[in-house]
Structure 1
Amino acid sequence: MNLALLFDEDFVAQDRAVLQGRRFEHIKSVLGTSIGDHLPVGRVNGQIGLGEVVALTDSEVELVVLLDQQPPPPLPLTLILAMPRPKMFRRILQTSSTLGIKDIWLVNSYKVEKSFWQTPWLSDDNLRENLTLGLEQAKDTAMPNVHIRKLFKPFVEDELPALLKGKQALVAHPGTSTPCPTHLNRPTALCIGPEGGFTPYEVGKLEEAGCQSVHLGPRILRVETAVPVLVSRLFDACL
């Protein structure tokens, strides 16, 4: 945890916050913090700064906080991701948050098993927890938005064209002739399929909506590898 992320409910006064649970345990046991020490903090969707430890018990830590700096800028990226396997979903979510992706769409695909949508990691509390872990790693405060769409065709036909407006739209698809572009640094939408990729029908629908198919070369990557590789290739801010 490179930054303690503070939520509105943590504040007991305008400049004081009390932390319990995971964040408290990390501050006390991992960082070995004592009264008078300072640590990086940030308020969700707000500024970052420092927190001074003014009280420390067996269950909570109280901080006086000064927030006077802006968080790192977000990536101008909309990530459209076929629902991954639950065992890798948490890692992908944390990685996306760490990289600065603020707009994440989880969509269905023919190769997405129905059971994937039953994972408890899709609950609001678990989504927030994993996005928070990614923000803390990156010393960021801007909470990403996650949208869930369980029907592929209605999403692609009814919502995607408007979502792609004003953006360079790409779908990662091995075997296509166009390599993934680099140094974009402009509003972009990136579609990444499930393990095994989108079906030809799905790729066709994405292309009809305005996406261009691109590839990363002959190697087939796992989704959890493809996400950071594609994002770092597209945006200089990740280099």
Structure 2
Amino acid sequence: MIELFNGKGGLIEGCIQRIDRTGLDVVALEDPKLVLPQHTQWNVFAAFGTLKGGRADWLVEKCTELGAQSVTPLLTERSPSISENRVDRLERVILAATKQCQRLHEMVLNPPMKIDGLLPLVSQSKLAFVAIAEATPLVTALSSSRNESSGLIIVGPEGDFTEKEVNKIVEAGATAVGLGPHRLRVETATIALLATLMLCSDSQQMPIP
């Protein structure tokens, strides 16, 4: 017995009928079901193009496991590019993580985006957080923010955003938030921010007994 999914919420139960070197045949045992997303839809924009040693793989893998709706490599002055080979590898990492954590809606890896392309999305979003050292603590910012069904998470490169980039993002409408007293790596900051927001979203959506 197996379950098949299409990465878009479609789920069907089936039974393996035959296996050979070219693949396998599965007999469907029921009609397909469509499962709607159950969590707040956070979209991650992180400048991880220059990360080395598998750190970018780890970032997108954990974003997949935590339930991010999408991840977009952010191109900044201090992280200006990401190789095409890296993008192909990240797609494979996302697919493997999707299957491993039994996620029905596959996380989208968007094409790399420059800061100027991000600004209209920030302006249109009802909720956007940008991780900035020494800014208002995230938990404090959450206590005064609206409960929205979707939002943006923005994390800069190693060496952080330039002052000009920060000003552009904040002026577009993002809320600057801090993640504690220590300087964090790009992937650590991304996962800390996403995990906190996902847990808060889940707690707000849980029914009261």
- With the length of structure 1 as denominator, give the TM-score of the two structures: 0.69
- CA–CA separation in structure 2 for the residues paired with 1:238 and 1:138: 17
Q: Does 1:79 align with 2:44?
A: yes
Q: Does 1:180 align with 2:147?
A: no
- CA–CA separation in structure 1 for the residues paired with 2:20 and 2:180: 54
Q: How does 1:30-179 map to 2 (within 5 A)?
A: 38-65=1-28, 66=30, 67-68=32-33, 70=35, 72-84=37-49, 85-86=51-52, 87-112=54-79, 114=81, 117-123=82-88, 126-152=89-115, 154-156=116-118, 160-176=119-135, 178-179=136-137
Structure 2 unaligned spans of 5+? 204-209
- In 2, are the aligned partners of 1:47 and 1:70 still within 8 Å (CA)? yes
Distance 1:134 1:238, change over 3 A: farther
Q: Tell me, what secondary structure is at the counterpart of 2:111?
A: strand
CA-based RMSD: 2.6
Structure 1 unaligned spans of 5+? 1-37
Q: Tell me, what secondary structure is at the counterpart of 1:83?
A: coil
Higher relative contact order (CA 8 A, sep 6+): 2
How far the C-alpha of 1:119 sits from its partner, in A, is 4.7
Q: Tell me, what secondary structure is at the counterpart of 1:148?
A: coil
Segments of 4+ moved more than 4 angstroms: 182-185
Task: Work out the number of aligned pairs and report it.
Answer: 193
- CA–CA separation in structure 2 for the residues paired with 1:99 and 1:199: 29
Q: Tell me, what secondary structure is at the counterpart of 2:15?
A: strand
- In 2, are the aligned partners of 1:232 and 1:238 still within 8 Å (CA)? no
- CA–CA separation in structure 2 for the residues paired with 1:48 and 1:233: 29
- CA–CA separation in structure 2 for the residues paired with 1:57 and 1:71: 34
- CA–CA separation in structure 1 for the residues paired with 2:14 and 2:187: 34
Map Cα deviations across residues 142-173 of structure 1 (whole Å, 9 max, x no partner): 23333334533x324xxx23444242111101
